[in-house]
Amino acid sequence: MPPQAGSGAWPEGEKLTGNTVFDVILAILLGLVIWRMSLAVIRMLSTPPTEVDPDDVVSVDQDYTCTVCGAELTMRAVNVQNVQDNAPPRHCREEMVAVWRPS
């Protein structure tokens, strides 16, 4: 018999697995798994990022322009640990174009 509207998820007298003890143990285990996963996510989000070594930061003065929307960016410093083959920054999911400006 299908459940009646507004009467709850399961009809009267029916259980998820047919065994009340197993249903309680299953509910407790699922609750513990959800609890542990929630704590792991909270710990991961609350951990501060690692400090940047000042020796890895190089001073630059390079301007970039986004070819899609026209946004402009001036890079003053670059972390050499994170730079891959002097790749320009990305904006609008596209690489920005380096712009030369006279000093």
Write the DSSP string, 17-44: SS-HHHHHHHHHHHHHHHHHHHHHHHHH
Show the DSSP H helices in the chain as ranges. 20-46
Verify that 83 and 65 share a domain, yes or no: yes
Domain count for the chain: 2
pLDDT, one tens digit per residue, over 7-65 is: 566 566 666 667 788 888 999 999 999 999 999 999 999 988 888 788 888 888 889 99
Verify that 31 and 68 share a domain, yes or no: no
Verify that 95 and 65 share a domain, yes or no: yes
- Comparing CA positions, the residue from 68, 64, 70 lying closest to residue 94 is 68
Verify that 2 and 43 share a domain, yes or no: yes
Structural domain span for residue 79: 54-99
Q: 33 with 39: CB under 8 angstroms?
A: no
Q: Is the whole model's pTM more than 0.85, yes or no?
A: no
